[in-house]
Homo-oligomer: A and B are copies of this chain.
């Protein structure tokens, strides 16, 4: 039996993590839950987020049989990773720790820049993870990037201009504080859709770390260490089931862009208040 992997986000941005997982574990079964009825998590209290995230994790484990959980929601990791781990008896992986580890492996100067949503920056979860690995980090909230991605302007001159403005502000702050950054961490699951624009915007030689990719790599290690190798020659199509807690229309419409393939029918689930 191929392993079942549960992936959870408050919205559908986490489909970029699912996409990176499918590329690496094509024979696994995947269940993705977007808690769209209760987003955004970023503006809610720690207790409420912990309750929502624990319910979501339990749905994926108890009802969908997930043997591994990947939490693709930065806010849930920053505020409720412990609560999720307490709620389910399976290994739980986030996107922040793998992103920080990839930054440490990539950076030669030890100075990194992290861009993310306002809520993630406010939590300083990336800063803490980077510092724990001996890196210096500067975080910056880039609130226009999620709406630009959702508008579909992923390869648009306006988006390139906005990225240039944000990166210039970051570089000014880095210069003022005597940092010499050589690595940029994309700390939001929407940002992988802007990867080529970021690649063009950073200085020559600088590395762009996609925390969705980093999380998928970490998940592959974990899964391969705990399950038998798939039977040779197995070529069945990857099984992907997507669930959402509110209107599936936007999810299906935008989700395919994030997933790089159709989401299929998204099933509505009720996790209660």
Contact = CB atoms under 8 A, between A and B. Distances in A.
| Most chain B CB neighbours (cut-off 10 Å) among A39, A144, A150, A246 | A144
Interface string A29-52: 000000011010001100000000
Contacts of A165: 158
Contact of A151 (B43, B143, B161): B143
B144 A148 contact: yes
Nearest to A36: B43
A131 interface: no
Nearest to A156: B165
A90 interface: no
Contacts of A43: 36-37, 39, 246-247
Contacts of A150: 143
A147 B44 CA distance: 19
Q: How many copies does the complex hold?
A: 2
A225 interface: no
Interface in A158-179: 158, 161-162, 165
A273 interface: yes
A36 to B, nearest CB: 7
Interface string A190-227: 00000000000000000000000000000000000000
Interface residues of A, number: 19
A272 to B, nearest CB: 12
Interface centre among A36, A39, A147, A247 (most CB of B within 10 A): A147
Interface string A239-269: 0000000110000000000000000000000
Contacts of A36: 43
A146 B147 CA distance: 9
A161 B158 CA distance: 8
Contacts of A161: 158, 161
A150 B143 CA distance: 9
Nearest to A246: B43
A217 to B, nearest CB: 31
The 7 tightest CB contacts between A and B, nearest first, are: A147-B147, A144-B147, A143-B147, A158-B161, A143-B151, A144-B151, A158-B162
21 contacts: A36-B43, A37-B43, A37-B44, A39-B43, A43-B246, A43-B247, A143-B147, A143-B150, A143-B151, A144-B144, A144-B147, A144-B148, A144-B151, A146-B147, A147-B147, A158-B158, A158-B161, A158-B162, A158-B165, A161-B161, A273-B273
Given A143-B150, A161-B161, 8 more contacts: A37-B44, A39-B43, A43-B246, A144-B148, A147-B147, A158-B158, A158-B162, A158-B165
